[in-house]
Amino acid sequence: MRSLSKQFKELACRIEDFIYRYQSNTLIILGEAGIGKTTLVKMVIKAKDSKDILYINLLKYCRNVLDEMQNEYEINNSAKVVIIDGWDALIPEDRFSTWRQLVDWQNRHGIKVIITSRYMEGDIWKNAEVLKINPLSQNEAFHFLQSMSNSNFTNNEAIISLINIFNTPFMLKLLVRATSQLGIPLEEATRENVLLSFISRYSEEESSVLESIAFEMMQKNEMVIMPTDSSYLKYLSVYKELIIEEGRVSFQHKSFYEIFAARYIFRKIFKEVKETEKFGIAMWDVFANNICPINILNYVKFFIKHQINSNIFLEQLNYNFNYMFERGMLLNLPRDIDVFKAISNVFYVIWHITSYVNRICYGTFKPEFSKCGETNFACLINVFNKIYFSEVYLDFSYTDFSNIKLWRCNLANMNFKNSKLYHANFLGSRLDGGDFQKADLSNSILIGTDLRNANLKDTILTGANVAQCMISENSLKYFQPYKATLRHIEKLIIFMEDGTIKYSLD
């Protein structure tokens, strides 16, 4: 496998070949942010006589390219090549006119031009030669990371998961720097703590702008369109995290988009303690317009864990969730919104964060559902499944669901680890694939439920009503210790591995 330095030397040779050829006079070096475009052209400059090259770095807040070139050319009128680094730093309305002036200037002086950019200007560069720098392969990123960190770590899952996110030289350098600042080995780094280290370098004002852009992208599920006269365009063009094209702004790296969107949500809803009514309004304002990606919600949980240390906050959060469930606030929707999207978003974030907070509190929170709240809860689970089609699951771990009634609910693949479910009623529900490890299902009603492929390891089943309950042959060992106490055991349906069905634990 080629080393990264060897790969860059080969690319540098191709640039030098362009300089000395007569066929073309413009070369566009394309590649995503942080892929090494600037590193590459500086390699070329270092290898050549600096008098032969004018280097214009637009990322250093230079906007008037032609004036800068003219000033430099007057100092060094023997230059044969102009390198314009960071073309995308120009605001969109200036690019076409700058290009026309550049071509005119180029023709008058007989100079070759090399431009680095994150994307192709199709209309104006159609006759230019293009050199594209591809993202690093997993092996290239792995070996680059080894050389950067002077580590001989093995090709383990933790490192690979980081490489899959931070896959450019720039991002890998930031990764090494971030873990060094955090004082942890690369193998112990997580996506969350590394990204948090990255974004901590922004001021509150800068972060607020990036958060707003990310959240608008989440709501519209597309790039953000900025007015051409927006002062933000010049302000934002220096960020390597962003792509700005014809007034349209998006994030170069998906993880930056997700974590800035999560920061927006955290700031709007969770950063300060809110009483219940204001909390409900904030939830609808943020989640009612579009499906919120699960990665973003996971980052929201990360911010709650690492930035909220107040028991008062956690107690208020739990109270607000319970209040909304009991009073049906998740079904009494504001007008003119997509009901199903709104319900799924709000319910998902509420319950996952409730469960997350519950684990922090070691399962001490118990939702006290009234009859109305209980019905709403079952309804919300089914609506959630209609939207997501069981592609994701809800986390009910460490929760006290004793005596709850969840009839005919699709609870497949849900997480009930360490939960209290005694006297719960799951009549006719689908529990297939659910995780009930160390859950207490004593005296629960499992009539007509599907428990095939559910994880029942260390589950307490004392006195459970198992009439017409479907289990797999592999689950027999979990039912055997409670054989004497199970109700309607003679009606238990056991699916054997040979395809037959039994109705007994014998």
CATH of residue 445: 2.160.20.80
- What is the model's pLDDT at position 456? 93
Note whether residue 269 is domain-resident: no
Clarify whether residues 12 and 128 are in a common domain.
yes
Q: Report in angstroms the alpha-carbon separations of 506 from 363, 460, 492, 501.
A: 37, 20, 12, 13
Is residue 413 domain-shared with residue 489, that is, in the same domain?
yes
Pairing mode, strands 26-30 and 112-117? parallel
Asked if 423 and 462 sit in the same domain, the reply is: yes
Task: Please tell me whether residues 293 and 371 are part of one structural domain.
Answer: yes
User: Which of these three, 132, 158, 174, is where a domain ends?
Assistant: 132
Please tell me whether residues 156 and 125 are part of one structural domain: no
- pLDDT of res. 467: 92
For the chain, give the longest Cα–Cα distance. 97
- The verdict on residue 264 lying in a domain is no
pLDDT at 469: 92
Tokens read off for 310: 């107040």
* In a domain? residue 265: no
Same-domain status, 402 and 415: yes
Counting the structural domains of the chain, the total is 5
Query: Could you give the angle at the alpha carbon of 20 between the alpha carbons of 18 and 25, nearest 5°?
Result: 55
Same domain, 435 and 415: yes
pLDDT tens for the 506 residues of the chain, in order: 445 567 777 888 888 888 877 777 889 998 877 788 888 888 888 776 666 787 877 755 455 666 766 676 666 666 778 888 878 777 666 778 888 888 887 887 788 888 888 778 777 888 888 888 887 777 778 877 877 777 776 657 778 777 777 777 777 877 888 788 778 888 777 777 777 777 777 788 888 888 888 888 887 766 566 555 555 555 555 565 676 665 677 776 777 888 889 999 999 988 888 888 888 888 878 887 766 777 788 788 778 777 766 667 777 777 787 777 766 665 555 555 555 666 667 777 777 777 777 776 666 666 666 666 677 777 778 777 776 655 667 888 888 888 888 888 888 888 899 999 999 999 888 888 889 999 999 999 999 998 988 999 999 999 999 999 999 998 889 999 999 999 998 889 999 988 888 877 76
Angle, alpha carbons 185-188-192 (nearest 5°): 115
Q: Are residues 213 and 241 in the same domain?
A: yes
For residue 324, give the nearest of 286, 281, 358 by alpha carbon. 281
Last residue of a domain, one of 152, 170, 199: 199
Say if 388 falls within a structural domain: no
**How far apart are alpha carbons 29 and 14 in whole angstroms?**
11
266 located within any domain: no
Q: What is the CATH number of the domain that holds 23?
A: 3.40.50.300
Beta bridge pairs of residue 430: 410, 450
Question: Do 429 and 470 contact (CB within 8 A), yes or no?
Answer: no
CA dihedral 334, 340, 343, 348 (to 10 degrees): -150
Contacts of 13 (CB under 8 A, 6+ apart): none
What pLDDT is recorded for position 1? 40
191 with 248, same domain: the answer is no
Quick one: 422 and 464 in the same domain?
yes
Q: What is residue 237's predicted lDDT score, i.e. its pLDDT?
A: 53
Residue 142 lies in a domain: yes
Residues 6+ apart with CB under 8 A from 143: 1, 3, 4
Q: Which of 349, 380, 411 is the last residue of a domain?
A: 380
Is 271 inside any structural domain? no
Domain that includes residue 222, residue range = 204-257
Residue 177 falls within a domain, yes or no?
A: yes
pLDDT of residue 61: 47
Q: Are residues 114 and 152 in the same domain?
A: no
- Asked if residue 157 and residue 124 are part of one domain, the reply reads no
CA distance 284 to 296: 17
Whole-number Å distance between alpha carbons of 412 and 403: 20
Six-digit token string for 249: 């702004």
